[in-house]
Structure 1
């Protein structure tokens, strides 16, 4: 499928996740089969653009194309200026966040809180699309609560404004990340518009991806939390969608190498002090379903240098060879090896 002039290699995408999908992780996911990835949510307030946090979130040096930046805010003019700023820095696609349910974001009337003000939504869409000459996409939710779902209205507004692609998370703002994602609204949106629609929410296995594509008619799926600690899920799903067959669990030797590369890229991106600390959550996700993983995570969290952390992770994955040449990560390993 395409986003504007950009031809994507498949329809299995990485969801933007604050504190997770930084450049090293996006790059890894793309290397492991993701057809598309969007940056972490970047603030639209110009006063924050020079901050270390925002600068990192919009840093795409060396990243595989297309380079997409997600922006968040509630002021149409400021969002338009932010979009132009990021395009000048190399962004090839701008994604507008109207899906984040986090209180800190919604309390500023950003993210999914915007869905309560359809007039403002329209003004934002028109302003951002008019401001840049690259494709603009929209990520949103089904509504702000179960009694107030307006995804169809927002989708039609977006298409009319010139939005190039819609990504719909099958929950309302009030749902947060609880309960099961519902897909009938995604199906209704897909039937109502002619632009590409991406289904997001609770897609954790190859079978679930196939099911969601079938019941929604969506053009692509977007994977979020299921990719944490398992970035090879993208090639697993892509392979299953193309062939109907499962890939085996990854080799221990491959994951050991991937972990080393990921951590070194992470340290280089954040610096040693922050890199050591922010890497802990990634390592925790990688090891959580593996034999001895929880005990290792607790020991690893007490290490105070990147060198110690890297050596400990390398030794842990070397030790996994005692359980077989392929990773033994719970039910996923059993199913994928069947």
Structure 2
């Protein structure tokens, strides 16, 4: 055994480690429980009783030599690593020239719409994209099985027909009126879903901004002046606005808002179908039934609401003729908006 001990001791003294893998190999061979040193301790029971003390002392010295060598190898490896070039970049070097991206046109227009309405006292509200029937339809004066529900092609959650992907952000209006006392003056930007065929003029996923103002003595004049201000701020001071009577279940009276075509300046083109006008929004006075459904006294309070598609506003702002371009991530299209900020 003495010869074996001396042989292992010589191997330990001559061992060199230049990497973590070699260091680990040393640990397994000489330090671990199943190492050659450990095997010698296991053979100690076969040594004659009168020699065990001397052999045990020799093995302990061998074990200590192996551990001391292991510490020495660790220190050498760490010192050699410290002397290697650092991965930290030299901050004094000139920076690389990275091409700057641009804001997505829908994001830009959304932020611009929010900015315009915030300046006149509206705040921003948000809500879930997966809605229940009450907030998406019933509270908004859509009775069950009423034909008005056919106005919107809805994505229903298959396992629960009362849960839908919201078809408009009006559910956020309902939640506001349920949880907040008037005055309420908010806009609700967000993504909405409708089960429609995707084409240049329609998409199953798009973005809306709706607005709600509820207080005492709110009138249709307030609605008109608010949207006049928006149209002239969003487009040009020369933009003309007109209102056409319409029908929405949650507003009465209701109107659709048209502006003079921004491409042909009202002279007539393909976008405006040669009428000189383009629809941008729907609006109206909040139906008293909707106020009552949300716990607001319709005898004391009135309000107006409006809603517009961000894609349509962006189309008019930047003369985009295909709604699919917004979601296809075609770099040739997006590079046209690099100057947006």
Class of the TM-score when normalised by the shorter of the 2 chains: under 0.3
What TM-score do you get using the length of structure 2 for normalisation?
0.21
Higher helix share: 1
Higher strand share: 2
What TM-score do you get using the length of structure 1 for normalisation?
0.21
Largest Rg, 1 or 2: 2
